[in-house]
Amino acid sequence: MKTRVTIHRDFAISRIDDRLYSAFIEHMGRAIYSGIYEPGHPQADANGFRRDVMEMVRDLNVPAIRYPGGNFVSAYDWKDGVGPRDERPVRLDLAWRSKETNQVGTNEFAVWAKDAGIEMMLAVNLGTGGLQDAREYMEYVNHSGGTHWSDLRRAHGVEQPYGVKMWCLGNEMDGPWQIGHREAKDYGRIADETSKALKAFDPSIETIVCGSSNDEMPTYPEWEREVLEECYESVDYISLHKYFGNRSRDTLNYFGKIEQTGRYIQTVGGVIDYVKAKKRAKNDIYICFDEWNVWYHQRAEDKQRVKEWDWPEAPPLLEETYNFEDALFIGGLLNEFIRQSDRVKIACIAQLVNVIAPIRAERGGPAWRQTIYWPYQMASLYGRGRALRAEVEAPTYDCRVGDDISYLDVAVTHDDAAGMLTVFVLNRHLTETAELSMDMAGFAPDGIEMHKVMQGHDLMATNGPETPDKVALDDCRDAAVEDGQLRGRLAPLSYHVIRMR
Ligand code: AHR
């Protein structure tokens, strides 16, 4: 199939916010306990954090991490997780019907995040908690000292405040499953008041209000309108969540969900603009896509297990094993985030370790990178700078979730600081090679500095403890710069990252 892409150095979509490649980790399953933290593991450091997992996290260059939930946060008391460990209560986690030992809390997590070089993004409990609780948490975390809550932190051995800048106002408050779920207007009111209270402490912080849990919620997109009408001027971002799957075993339809996500983002963008106009507001708010990933392989079984089990401690939960098809999908989805980077400023892969995660770690055993680790790493390392507009001419297909979907999915970034042009391409055709020619007006690259590919695997191929590198990135030589154009032959079902200077 013949394909043509055109870019121009001056035709940019937006400067990409580095936080587009953030992550999320929740107190659930084995994400924290035996995921990042496992005292006694041969790889544990002096604080009990797994060095093998840490190394894999560091290699992702994650800018920020959302913590501690998720559904968990809506019944979590942050005070349970601070102070002497042997005095911390064991609690029932209502979201995942598990036991929470509270051996990791804000201060331990902060140590891990600092070691990993990741900025914390904290969520407050607006389910069973509320404004007062959020206010106290802010004081504990961010105030220097000389007050009740800040001195308590100091008494807990943390002299310096953390200066956390990103604060999530609850989680998925539109979902009837959420502990303390609210109607849109009620939630908008409490979010507004909480955001104002937190900003009264420090106007430089940013707050994120909950949008819909996904674009199939019956209240979507009315939820966004009603919530924003209550709090537009006091918040900075509205969150979007969406999880994906290919239950019907229809690969092209699965890949069509990339474009469907673009429509979701644009719709919420439209609601933002509508509310801004209606309120005659001056400020802009952006999208924080703070939960996204593939989640379907064993979702039904997990749902059943959670109902039946007897409040276990750190049980295996949502431990999805990702295949090559999922990796291709994630490559395309990250391309969509780059293309929508004028609206989406923060996005968080959900989650980071064990629970629907690019990294898996066995209790007492090895850790390994799942298939989806690789496209996430490529986007995070190289999808920085400016997102450039790419005009793509390629054959298209229709599927259940959309029509006229291009077989070639392209995102282009230009990192002015490093002087690097990066092209991310997914050829989602099932059988045809894409003959690519790309015009690069304003650029005159000498040649290709790096070309990585994921290709040639069975769509169902996975990585595991015995075969950790089965599906990974390879070097590729199927493209070249000729007569000022990028030309290549991209195999069917392949994901490419091509870097030129
Ligand atoms: O990431 C798993 C769960 O998915 C989160 O707890 C919740 O916010 C979402 O429904």
pLDDT, mean over the chain: 98
- Give residue 70 CA to ligand 1 midpoint distance, Å: 5
Q: Where in the chain is the domain with CATH 2.60.40.1180?
A: 2-9+388-500
Does the active-site annotation cover 172? yes
Ligand 1 atom showing the smallest separation from residue 175 Cα: 10
Per-residue pLDDT of 357-412, as tens digits, reads 999 999 999 999 999 999 999 999 999 999 999 999 999 999 999 999 999 999 99
3-state secondary structure of 248: coil
Task: Using alpha carbons, select from 146, 191, 142 the residue that is nearest to residue 168.
Answer: 191
Q: Is 71 in the pocket of ligand 1 (CB under 6 A)?
A: yes
pLDDT band at 343; cut points 50, 70, 90: very high
- Give residue 78 CA to ligand 1 midpoint distance, Å: 18
Residue 341 has a pLDDT of 98
Residue 105 has a pLDDT of 98
Q: Is 69 in the pocket of ligand 1 (CB under 6 A)?
A: yes
pLDDT band at 172; cut points 50, 70, 90: very high
* The one-letter amino acid at 169: L
At which residue do the structure tokens 């969900």 appear?
257
Task: Using alpha carbons, select from 375, 378, 391 the residue that is nearest to residue 420.
Answer: 378
d(CA 412, CA 233): 33
Q: Is 26 in the pocket of ligand 1 (CB under 6 A)?
A: yes
d(CA 382, CA 371): 18
Residue 452 pairs in a beta bridge with 475, 497
Residue 330 has a pLDDT of 98
Q: Is 350 in the pocket of ligand 1 (CB under 6 A)?
A: yes
**Residue 429 burial class via C-beta count within 10 angstroms: exposed 0-12, middle 13-18, buried 19 and up:** buried
Q: Is 291 in the pocket of ligand 1 (CB under 6 A)?
A: yes
Say if residues 124 and 133 touch (Cβ distance below 8 Å): yes
- Give residue 135 CA to ligand 1 midpoint distance, Å: 24
Write the ipTM. 0.99
Ligand 1 atom showing the smallest separation from residue 172 Cα: 8
Element housing 338 (H / E): helix 324-339
Average pLDDT over residues 466-477: 97
d(CA 499, CA 418): 11
Cα distance from N-terminal residue to C-terminal residue, the chain: 27
d(CA 176, CA 81): 27
Q: Is the peptide bond before 332 cis (omega within 30 degrees of 0)?
A: no
Element housing 391 (H / E): strand 391-393
At which residue do the structure tokens 């929740």 appear?
26
Measured by CA distance, the residue closest to atom 5 of ligand 1 is 70
- Give residue 353 CA to ligand 1 midpoint distance, Å: 14
Q: Is 494 in the pocket of ligand 1 (CB under 6 A)?
A: no
At which residue do the structure tokens 């501690």 appear?
68
CATH number for the domain running over 2-9+388-500: 2.60.40.1180
Per-residue pLDDT of 448-461, as tens digits, reads 999 999 999 999 99
- Give residue 324 CA to ligand 1 midpoint distance, Å: 23
Task: Using alpha carbons, select from 462, 468, 294 the residue that is nearest to residue 365.
Answer: 468
Percent above pLDDT 90 for the chain: 100
Q: Is 70 in the pocket of ligand 1 (CB under 6 A)?
A: yes
Six token digits for residue 176? 């009837």
Per-residue pLDDT of 179-222, as tens digits, reads 999 999 999 999 999 999 999 999 999 999 999 999 999 999 99
- What helix, strand, coil percent values describe the chain, rounded to 5? 30, 30, 40
Q: Which residue out of 291, 292, 356 has the highest number of ligand 1 atoms within 8 Å of its CB and is therefore the one to mutate?
A: 291
Catalytic residue among 100, 291, 325, 336: 291
Ligand 1 atom showing the smallest separation from residue 243 Cα: 4
Instruction: Look at phi and psi of residue 46 and say left if phi exceeds 0, alpha if psi is from -120 to 50, else beta.
Output: alpha
Backbone angles phi, psi at 492, to 5 degrees: -60, 150
Per-residue pLDDT of 96-135, as tens digits, reads 999 999 999 999 999 999 999 999 999 999 999 999 999 9
- Give residue 71 CA to ligand 1 midpoint distance, Å: 6
Residue 369 has a pLDDT of 98
3-state secondary structure of 2: strand
**Residue 416 burial class via C-beta count within 10 angstroms: exposed 0-12, middle 13-18, buried 19 and up:** exposed
Residue 196 has a pLDDT of 98
CATH code matching the domain that covers 17-382, chosen among 3.20.20.80, 3.10.20.30, 3.40.50.300, 3.40.50.150: 3.20.20.80
Provide the 8-state DSSP code for 484.
Answer: T
Measured by CA distance, the residue closest to atom 8 of ligand 1 is 70
d(CA 439, CA 387): 16
Backbone angles phi, psi at 431, to 5 degrees: -130, -20
Catalytic residue among 119, 172, 226, 319: 172
Residue 257 has a pLDDT of 98
Say if residues 29 and 295 touch (Cβ distance below 8 Å): no
Q: Is 320 in the pocket of ligand 1 (CB under 6 A)?
A: no
- Give residue 178 CA to ligand 1 midpoint distance, Å: 10
Residues counted in the chain = 501
CA 9 to chain centre: 28
Task: Using alpha carbons, select from 428, 477, 429, 435 the residue that is nearest to residue 452.
Answer: 477
d(CA 21, CA 242): 16
d(CA 341, CA 268): 14
Does the active-site annotation cover 291? yes
